[in-house]
């Protein structure tokens, strides 16, 4: 099949998403959430098609590039575990049902693989299909109060009502579903957030996930302020919910002990595979958020002859919770400052998490550009 007719940069961006296990059908969403990760970014960060992919285009990307989660060693299961449109809504696509059936017939999705949705366009037919194909769903519910939901997700009253009522459809059909919530300070304080747990008490929700969204320097102050919630406050909220409503809430960004351990072993074994640089001077670079954890791993792994630097997210600014918002430019500035006062290391060791499967950052700049700039070997772990 011939390649879709679109700008090369847009084609490459879509190709990359499919290679990463993310099925991107377009950047169009039925919601317009104030906390949407792409909403306030400057133009050009997201390669925008300004329309949905056609059926033929979707089929092309699935056939040519989509690798089933678990079969691609470069894609972490957590990253590729969901089907969603990158800054868009899967069920808004008129061929959503056909696409799901095609994915299943081509063995491109796993049983229980989760579709991320805002719920606004979900129909009975979709729910029946999710059950038949043995998929799961994670719905961004945010609030059970329709007007409160509308205030932060926009869309019409009926769309938001449809989303809130979709939970009952999931219950009726017995499908596996997760509820995602973005905590908004006002709603945390005035009880709207707690109401979600009161409304869903007795429902068979597989898990509640509270996603603390990031904000950048482009996010308006009033919204950034609503998103800045003290970590301890969220952890206390999760503990209250567990006790009062017997529901488990995971706060995204806090690794469970189990995941912390697997991350620890992953990084430690990656370091063990690099005996060639054990004795050489090396510089570890990571996000400010990961600093404490990485320092701990380096100490436990008894790594020698290294220096360490936490990289400030200067390009996008804002909170370090915005995964992947460290760019090559941030690393460049950080290394440049480091070299003013320190001798040149032989290696720069960076986290893979800042880059995609092609080792490029959000602006499609390769991590290995740093190698050319500084003549220091780059290693991604
Ligand atoms: S539902 Fe998701 S993709 Fe759509 S606007 Fe909201 S956050 Fe963005």
User: Is the beta carbon of 46 within 6 A of some atom in ligand 1?
Assistant: no
Q: What is the distance in A from the centroid of ligand 1 to the CA of 283? A: 37
Among 223, 252, 247, CA closest to 235: 252
Whether residue 86 is predicted with pLDDT greater than 60 in this model: the reply is no
Q: What secondary structure letter does DSSP report for 360?
A: B
pLDDT at 323: 44
CATH topology of domain 257-380: Rossmann fold (3.40.50)
pLDDT at 170: 97
**pLDDT band at residue 47 using 50, 70 and 90 as cut-offs:** low
- Decide yes or no: CATH 3.30.200.20 for domain 8-251: no
Whether residue 79 is predicted with pLDDT greater than 50 in this model: the reply is no
The minimum-distance atom of ligand 1 relative to the CA of 153 is 6
pLDDT at 78: 47
Secondary structure of residue 255 in the 3-state scheme: coil
pLDDT at 208: 92
User: Is the beta carbon of 233 within 6 A of some atom in ligand 1?
Assistant: no
Produce one character per residue of 134-170: b if its CB has 16 or more CB atoms within 10 Å, e if not: ebbbbbbbbbbbbebbbbbbbbeeebbebbbebbebb
Secondary structure of residue 199 in the 3-state scheme: helix
CA–CA–CA angle 31, 148, 125 (5° rounding) = 50
Whether residue 9 is predicted with pLDDT greater than 70 in this model: the reply is yes
Mutate which of 23, 32, 33, 214 for ligand 1 pocket (most atoms within 8 A of beta carbon): 33
pLDDT at 266: 76
Number of C-beta neighbours around residue 90 at 10 A: 25
Where in the chain are all domains bearing CATH 3.20.20.70?
A: 8-251
Half-sphere exposure of 270 (CA within 13 A, CB side): 16
User: Is the beta carbon of 180 within 6 A of some atom in ligand 1?
Assistant: no
Q: What secondary structure letter does DSSP report for 276?
A: G
Q: What is the mean pLDDT of residues 29-55?
A: 81
Ranking 68-77, 98-107, 119-128, 345-354 by mean pLDDT, the lowest is 68-77
Q: Tens digits of per-residue pLDDT, 194-240?
A: 999 999 999 999 989 888 877 788 889 999 999 888 878 888 898 89
Q: What is the distance in A from the centroid of ligand 1 to the CA of 35? A: 8
Q: What is the mean pLDDT of residues 261-280?
A: 77
* Positions of E strands within the chain: 82-83, 114-117, 136-140, 177-181, 207-210, 249-251, 282-287, 306-311, 347-350, 377-380
**Which single residue is written with the structure tokens 């690798």?**
67
pLDDT at 80: 46
pLDDT at 17: 82
Q: Which tokens hold the place of 245?
A: 């409503």
Q: What is the distance in A from the centroid of ligand 1 to the CA of 215? A: 14
Where in the chain are all domains bearing CATH 3.40.50?
A: 257-380
CA of 280: how far to CAs of 131, 277, 303, in Å? 55, 5, 11
User: Is the beta carbon of 32 within 6 A of some atom in ligand 1?
Assistant: yes
What average pLDDT is seen over the chain? 85
User: Is the beta carbon of 125 within 6 A of some atom in ligand 1?
Assistant: no
* Percentage of the chain modeled with pLDDT above 70: 89
Mutate which of 27, 35, 41, 87 for ligand 1 pocket (most atoms within 8 A of beta carbon): 87
Mutate which of 140, 159, 160 for ligand 1 pocket (most atoms within 8 A of beta carbon): 140
Q: Tens digits of per-residue pLDDT, 153-205?
A: 999 999 999 999 999 999 999 998 999 999 999 999 999 999 999 999 999 99
**pLDDT band at residue 64 using 50, 70 and 90 as cut-offs:** very high
Nearest protein Cα to ligand 1, atom 3: 87
Q: What is the distance in A from the centroid of ligand 1 to the CA of 31? A: 6
User: Is the beta carbon of 152 within 6 A of some atom in ligand 1?
Assistant: no
Instruction: Tell me whether residue 249 is exposed, middle or buried, using C-beta atoms within 10 angstroms of its C-beta: 0 to 12, 13 to 18, 19 or more.
Output: buried
Q: Tens digits of per-residue pLDDT, 142-155?
A: 999 999 999 999 99
Q: Tens digits of per-residue pLDDT, 92-121?
A: 999 999 999 999 999 988 888 888 899 999
Nearest protein Cα to ligand 1, atom 7: 36
User: Is the beta carbon of 31 within 6 A of some atom in ligand 1?
Assistant: yes
User: Is the beta carbon of 29 within 6 A of some atom in ligand 1?
Assistant: yes
pLDDT at 262: 66
Q: Which tokens hold the place of 193?
A: 């957030």
Number of C-beta neighbours around residue 81 at 10 A: 19
Mutate which of 26, 30, 36 for ligand 1 pocket (most atoms within 8 A of beta carbon): 36
Distance CA(366)–CA(368), nearest Å, equals: 5
Q: What is the distance in A from the centroid of ligand 1 to the CA of 317? A: 21
Q: What is the distance in A from the centroid of ligand 1 to the CA of 370? A: 33
pLDDT at 253: 58
* Percentage of the chain modeled with pLDDT above 90: 46
């Amino acid at each position: 099949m011939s390649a879709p007719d679109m700008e090369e940069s847009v084609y490459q961006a879509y190709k990359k998403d499919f290679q990463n296990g993310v099925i991107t059908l377009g950047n169009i969403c039925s919601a317009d959430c104030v906390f949407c990760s792409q909403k306030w970014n400057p133009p050009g960060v997201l390669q925008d098609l300004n329309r949905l992919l056609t059926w033929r285009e979707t089929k092309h990307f699935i056939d040519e590039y989509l690798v089933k989660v678990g079969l691609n060693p470069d894609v972490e299961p957590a990253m590729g575990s969901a089907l969603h449109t990158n800054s868009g809504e899967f069920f808004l696509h008129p061929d959503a049902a056909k696409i799901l059936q095609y994915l299943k017939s081509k063995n491109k999705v796993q049983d229980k693989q989760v579709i991320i949705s805002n719920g606004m366009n979900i129909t009975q037919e979709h729910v029946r299909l999710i059950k038949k194909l043995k998929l799961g769903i994670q719905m961004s519910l945010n609030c059970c109060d329709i007007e409160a939901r509308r205030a932060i997700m926009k869309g019409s009253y009926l769309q938001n009502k449809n989303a809130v009522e979709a939970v009952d459809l999931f219950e009726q059909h017995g499908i596996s579903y997760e509820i995602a919530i973005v905590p908004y300070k006002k709603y945390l304080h005035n009880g709207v957030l707690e109401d979600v747990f009161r409304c869903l008490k007795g429902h068979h929700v597989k898990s509640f996930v509270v996603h603390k969204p990031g904000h950048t320097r482009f996010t308006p102050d009033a919204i950034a302020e609503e998103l800045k919630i003290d970590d301890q406050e969220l952890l206390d909220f999760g503990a209250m919910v567990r006790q009062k409503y017997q529901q488990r809430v995971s706060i995204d960004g806090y690794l469970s002990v189990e995941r912390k351990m697997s991350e620890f072993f992953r990084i430690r074994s990656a370091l063990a595979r690099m005996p060639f640089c054990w004795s050489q001077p090396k510089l570890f670079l990571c996000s400010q958020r990961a600093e404490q954890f990485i320092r701990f791993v380096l100490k436990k792994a008894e790594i020698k002859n290294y220096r360490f630097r936490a990289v400030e997210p200067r390009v996008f600014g804002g909170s370090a919770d915005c995964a992947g918002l460290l760019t090559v430019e941030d690393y460049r500035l950080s290394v440049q400052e480091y070299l003013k006062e320190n001798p040149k290391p032989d290696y720069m060791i960076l986290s893979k998490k800042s880059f995609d499967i092609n080792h490029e950052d959000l602006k499609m700049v390769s991590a290995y550009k740093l190698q050319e700039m500084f003549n220091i070997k780059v290693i991604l772990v």
